[in-house]
Structure 1
Amino acid sequence: MSAIALIAAPRLLNVALGPDGFLTTETDGSRLKAGTTWVVGSRPADTCHGKFRDGAEAQDAIGDDKGKAFEGEDLMNEATRIPPAVELGASGEEFQNLHEFVRKARANLNQNCWDYIVGAAETETTMRRNRMALDEIAFRPRVLRNVTKVDPSVELFGRKLRLPVVLAPVGALELFDPGAAASVARGVGSFGAAHMLSSVSEPGLEKTAEAAPDALRMYQLYVRGGDAYVEDCVNRATACGYSAFCLTVDTAHYSRRERDIAKRYVRASRVRATGGDFQKGLEWRTVKLIKDKFKIPLVIKGIATAEDAAIALDHGVDWIYVSNHGGRQLDHGRGAMQVLPEVVAAVAGRAKIMVDGSFCRGTDIVKAIASGADLVGIGRLQCWALAAKGEAGIVRMLELLEDEVIRCLGLLGLTSFAELDKSYLHAASPTNLPSVFSAFPLLEIEPYRY
């Protein structure tokens, strides 16, 4: 039977985590064994439906990073189930809407891996504000213009990209696909976008470069050592053909990820992590060190104020990366698109600007570029696509984003990003409640279960 995830299924069975680590029913405390049908969560966007593998305990959904914890089981009537995606071969064409990656990823991932994608820090307020800030922007379209040919391409580091998109640095991509970052880099290279490799994602700096030598690659570092460590990382990135070097600066302390804490779950990569004190002690002197000793373009990721953007400019930083870590670090921060205008004003064209934070649609990309960004980072959507179909999923996701961007530009009366500016934007009230899924309302519409 086809594997499916009923993202918007009603609550069928209340479950909780027992003291022994097993899922138990809230009514009688009994363990859920193999073959138990279950639904977790009461909010539509937080639920899932499936059947545990033969011989698997319910604990697999809590403690196993590697395998898939459940198989979808068609136990609901036609009016309340999500139909499986049409299979059209190995190239990824079965995905016709971006939200279909979310559904397939949910079917493929256990609860821990799923929570890693959709979760954020503490109350998850910053994450929701990321989405709300995007949904508070409306368009002002112009009409009666010839938009027969729309070209959404841009140039980056002397190369042409089909979209102004970078697949943002995400740690532990190996949770979603065996090829991990290598699969992402190959997909990006095949499509013609950019990739920024996280220093805490497999298979590492050198092997990712070997897997996708022709892709436009950048390297992002969490500082886990002293000056010699940083210099070695820059040298290795340069030797492997990375086009830019990025320092992440918003992780002085690791945040409270309450979804994981509630399950008493710690990812293996967190157990192995060392050098946290170096990240806590990171200062502007490290930025100066890199700029003084190396010619590779430098990106600072995690800028959230005009003041820090100005200091970065004083240090000769080439790219300002507006980011709040997808809401996974400081809780109750502003949405990235609320921060972007003040950073754009402070930079005033003296550096390039990247931004990320719940960008999931082509319209989101257009809004960011119109607001002054040069490049848009895609994080969670990257993970869903990778978990759904690996490298082919990455390519197909980018194809769908490109299609949405082309249609958006054309409907605005534009033929390229060069014609776009903030005059095409207008403040508006959001229509969807902000959540990690609010870019995909079809996931929650009853009774159709798209």
Structure 2
Amino acid sequence: MNEAIRPAQNVELGASNEEFQNLHEFVRKARVNLNQNAWDYIVGAAETETTMRRNRMALDEIAFRPRVLRNVAEVDASVERFGRKMRLPVMLAPVGALEIFDPQGAAASVVRGAGRFGAAHMLSSVSEPGLEKVAEAAPDALRLFQLYVRGDDVFVEDCVRRAVANNYAAFCLTVDTAHYSRRERDIAKRYVRASRNRATGGDFQKGLEWRTVKLIKDKYKIPLIIKGIATSEDAAIALEHGVEWIYVSNHGGRQLDHGRGAMHVLPEIVDAVKGRAKIMVDGGFCRGSDIIKAIAAGADIVGIGRMQCWALAAAGENGVHRMLELLEDEVIRSLGLLGVTSFAELNKSYLHPATATNAPSVFSAFPLLDIEPYRY
């Protein structure tokens, strides 16, 4: 389980949290702690990695329109989602095989860090230590469960029942992985993760259709999230099936290459949904300003993927917690500088098209980072 961790690297975060004062410091420390295979798993994507770069480009092509001379002495970054107060409208997005980044069992470390802070965590069905043990690790955290379909209807229903029994706030079906993509960083090294060797039932994901969405909605009351929506047409079909959450995602650029950036897709989905469902989005989000852009554009929750992996690899549970603290600090300062005191005051009038100033890459949000993005 600990294939990615060099044994000498057991990071302890001091009570003062002085080790990490900028988000890029997590990335730098993660690079020290991880072997090349695990590193490429975080930073890489499918084939030419174009979709991944477009995720960052889409964010960088949005500028702010700040308002001034408003009283912003008190800024509150919290929101209410799933009937719970959250310190930020942030969910730690589902990442498979998180256990390779932390010897303690990463899914549990991540959910504890998120729970301590007050953010949501979505557990991937292919991340250890599994649904029940993660619930035991953080029973009071806002937990969501994401499924890759690896069996028939009986398999799906069993997973839904287990999520309900363990008090997960919502159930998520991932729908953009009908075929596993070509991850060329792995192929070039002839590297196959242990979790991929254990994977079975891939044909069920290939055969997944809307009938499974109907099955879940007809039989279970738990809120349903559909992850991997990338067009208004599919958003409309999801609404017809009564789906409560539309999850805009391109899998971090790790599935279909040459897709659109998530923030280029989001306005289309917002226009199609028209408030009839809630909207999640992920894909390249790793700064407080990124979160603000998504919420202003109409999203309700922003998923944090790679940033959570870097924080976890850098300092485990405490790293995840500290990363969220720094995101909150960035959010509060940016909201105040925009002239608003809460996310509720934001709308798309605070956004404006712009020209990106950084060459898009997995690291373009961190100009002080001294890591070569494509070295392997």
State the TM bucket, normalised to the shorter chain: over 0.9
> Does the 8 Å contact 2:5/2:102 carry over to 1?
no
**Which residue among 324, 341, 357 is the counterpart of 2:250?**
324
1:139 paired residue number = 64
> Does the 8 Å contact 1:409/1:415 carry over to 2?
yes
> Secondary structure of 1:93's partner?
coil
2:78 paired residue number = 153
Deviations 1:48-107 (A, max 9, x none): xxxxxxxxxxxxxxxx962545989xxxxxxxxxxxxx9972564310000000000000
2:305 paired residue number = 379
Gaps of 5+ in 2: none
**Which residue among 384, 391, 398 is the counterpart of 2:317?**
391
Matched to 1:66, the amino acid is: E
1:289 paired residue number = 215
Please identify which structure carries the higher helix content: 2
1:66 paired residue number = 3
1:172 paired residue number = 97
Check if 1:214 corresponds to 2:140. Answer: yes
1:418 paired residue number = 344
**Which residue among 165, 169, 191 is the counterpart of 2:117?**
191
Tell me the distance in 2 between the aligned counterparts of 1:338 and 1:91.
39
1:106 paired residue number = 31
2:201 paired residue number = 275
> Does the 8 Å contact 1:340/1:355 carry over to 2?
yes
> Does the 8 Å contact 2:28/2:371 carry over to 1?
no
Tell me the distance in 2 between the aligned counterparts of 1:225 and 1:87.
40
Tell me the distance in 1 between the aligned counterparts of 2:142 and 2:308.
16
Matched to 1:131, the amino acid is: R
Distance 1:67-1:322 versus aligned 2 partners, 3 A rule? closer
> Does the 8 Å contact 1:93/1:396 carry over to 2?
no
Matched to 1:249, the amino acid is: V
Tell me the distance in 1 between the aligned counterparts of 2:94 and 2:332.
25
Q: Percent identity?
A: 84
Tell me the distance in 1 between the aligned counterparts of 2:212 and 2:34.
38
**Which residue among 355, 360, 368 is the counterpart of 2:286?**
360
Distance 1:445-1:235 versus aligned 2 partners, 3 A rule? closer
Report the Cα offset of residue 445 of structure 1.
9.7
1:38 paired residue number = none
Distance 1:92-1:200 versus aligned 2 partners, 3 A rule? farther
2:353 paired residue number = 427
> Does the 8 Å contact 1:65/1:113 carry over to 2?
no
Distance 1:310-1:424 versus aligned 2 partners, 3 A rule? same
Report the Cα offset of residue 158 of structure 1.
1.1
> Secondary structure of 1:442's partner?
coil
2:43 paired residue number = 118
| Higher relative contact order, structure no. (Cα contacts within 8 Å, ≥ 6 residues apart) | 2
Q: Which runs of 4+ in 1 moved over 3 A?
A: 67-72, 90-93
Q: How many residues align?
A: 370
Check if 1:229 corresponds to 2:229. Answer: no
Tell me the distance in 2 between the aligned counterparts of 1:241 and 1:322.
24
> Secondary structure of 2:368's partner?
helix
> Secondary structure of 1:394's partner?
helix
Matched to 2:293, the amino acid is: K
Distance 1:90-1:441 versus aligned 2 partners, 3 A rule? same
Deviations 1:281-336 (A, max 9, x none): 00000000000000000000000000000000000000000000000000000000
Tell me the distance in 2 between the aligned counterparts of 1:325 and 1:91.
35
Matched to 2:330, the amino acid is: E
Distance 1:187-1:70 versus aligned 2 partners, 3 A rule? closer
> Does the 8 Å contact 1:255/1:329 carry over to 2?
yes
Matched to 2:139, the amino acid is: P
Deviations 1:116-153 (A, max 9, x none): 00000000000000000000000000000000000010
Tell me the distance in 2 between the aligned counterparts of 1:330 and 1:355.
17
Task: Give the alignment's Cα RMSD to 1 decimal.
Answer: 1.7
Distance 1:87-1:390 versus aligned 2 partners, 3 A rule? closer
